[in-house]
Amino acid sequence: MKRITRIIRPIICIVVLLVAMTTAVRGCYQRETEPIDIPGTSAPQPSAPLAGEVIPSVDRQTELAEARAKNPDTVAWLYIPGAEVDDPVMQAEDNGYYLKLDENGEYAMWGCYYAHCENKIGGRDKLDKNTTIFGHSASNCDPDGVRFTKLYRYMDVDFVKEHPYIYLSVDGEDMIFQITALFVTDIGFDYIEPDPTGDDLTSFFETIARKNWLDFDGVTFSEEDTVLTLSTCCRKYDKANSGNQRLVVMAKLLPEGATAQEFSVSLVDSPEMP
């Protein structure tokens, strides 16, 4: 009997060990290859105003203050109706710092939203000419995917019509931006330059105009505008698999008390591509 016990006991231990190892490997595999999307808060979306009506702002001061209390790197709150973005924005001295960290500074495969390290984040009177916020996206470019993968929804003009505004809250001020451009570019175009001036500013907007997929009637976009830029990696058109292409969505800052304007939008036949 003792001899049988001595034989069976190591066999049981080996089986238990194999089961534990298999479960651990499966769990890691699921976390890495089946990431769970990260929804924003459940606050109701603002209703689309009619032409001539004042565009209602979205107050995210409470959420911003709570996020900053948890992490002092919090500089803003980004809300994009229809794209399921309703989250804090971080900023560090290095743009690589938050690549794999969430808003609490903990490891996260899909990181968080973070502002360009060279931008000055503040109210409308303190913003740079061009403020950039980065976010990850899935390589399959599925518009229902994680984080900024949902920016691909702006390739649908009906979506642009239904969700023309992006909301950015900073300490003490809630701002509204209107979608003005979407394009695919390589990093040879310095679309994240905070304060282009003179000929560089003119070239900046001329390049955007050539690349822009969205042709608006009723919405202007010019050198006088203050711009919010949303940037994410784009592999959909990167045939060489260079990893150097980006999907970019741009929006212009609206004045306080701005009213909704009638506009139409269509896709450009042949925008400039990388």
pLDDT, residue 238, reads 87
175-212 in b/e form (b: 16+ CB < 10 A) is bbbbbbbbbbbeeebebbbbebeeeeeeebbebbeebb
- Global pTM? 0.83
pLDDT, residue 46, reads 64
Under 8 Å between Cβ of 218 and 264: yes
Query: Is 231 exposed, middle or buried, given 0-12, 13-18 or 19+ CB atoms closer than 10 A?
Result: buried
Name the residue type at position 181. A
Phi, psi at 52, each rounded to 5° = 95, -15
Q: 79-111 pLDDT, tens per residue? A: 999 999 999 999 999 999 999 999 999 999 999
Q: 67-82 pLDDT, tens per residue? A: 999 999 999 999 999 9
Which residue stretches of the chain are H helix? 2-33, 61-70, 157-162, 198-211
User: Whole-angstrom Cα distance, residue 156 to residue 179?
Assistant: 13
Residues 236/227/267/270 CA torsion (nearest 10 deg) = -70
pLDDT, residue 239, reads 84
What Rg value do the Cα atoms of the chain yield, rounded? Answer: 23
User: Whole-angstrom Cα distance, residue 206 to residue 99?
Assistant: 30
pLDDT, residue 105, reads 94
Which segments of the chain have a pLDDT < 50? 1-42
Share of the chain above pLDDT 70, in %: 83
